[in-house]
Amino acid sequence: MAVGPEFRRLEAAWIEGVAAMARAGAQVVVDEVFLGGADSRRRRRRALGGLRVLWVGVRCDGAVAAGREVARGDRIAGMAAPRADPVHRGVVHDLEVDTTHSESMGCARAIAVHVVRSAARLSAGFEGGSPECGPGSPRSGPAAPSRRGPGHSSR
């Protein structure tokens, strides 16, 4: 799948709009396929600057994804498998779930636990009580990453 300049222009506008919603106080869940891998993430990270973001990688084995594509009945066959890996290439997530062997509900619960814990950690600290995925104070100062520990690199 090749992506042209018009796609990039609209993608940029889309991210700007999502960021504005979050800055205005909405808790936003965005479900996207990073067609550009690490570049896709870089563009989003820049646009979402100053917001608390939880980056969750949702993985699925390519062959399993291809089977689900067929089973769903309303998908164009052959879209899922070739993208299963490239969309994660070079992207370090805060949390990864894998739907290959886990139910959607199990993955959702893992994410919810992560969000709740992060919020608790934050309210115990000095940054104020907003949970992740919503508006937050700008990342500022070296203390922030250390509060979260490795693998949770302060987004």
Q: Name 77's Cβ contacts closer than 8 Å, sequence gap at least 6.
A: 66, 69, 70
**Residue 75 per-residue DSSP state:** S
Interaction between residue 129 and a copy of itself (CB under 8 A): no
Per CB under 8 A, does 31 bind a copy of itself? no
The answer to whether residues 2 and 34 touch, using CB atoms and an 8 Å cutoff, is no
Q: Do 140 and 28 form a contact (C-beta atoms < 8 A)? A: no
Kindly indicate which of the ranges 9-17, 32-40, 86-94, 137-145 contains the residues binding a copy of itself, using the contact rule CB under 8 A. Answer: 9-17
CA-CA distance, 147 to 149, in Å (whole number)? 6
In the complex with a copy of itself, which residue's Cβ is closer, 16 or 39?
16
CB of 41 to a copy of itself, least distance (A): 19
Using CB under 8 A, which of 3, 10, 79, 124 touches a copy of itself? 10
Given candidates 3, 7, 17, 79, which one binds a copy of itself under the rule CB under 8 A? 17
Using the rule CB under 8 A, is 30 a contact of a copy of itself?
Answer: no
CA angle 95, 133, 33 (to 5 degrees): 60
Residue ranges that bind a copy of itself, judged by CB under 8 A? 9-10, 12-14, 16-26, 64, 67-68, 70-71, 101, 103-106, 108
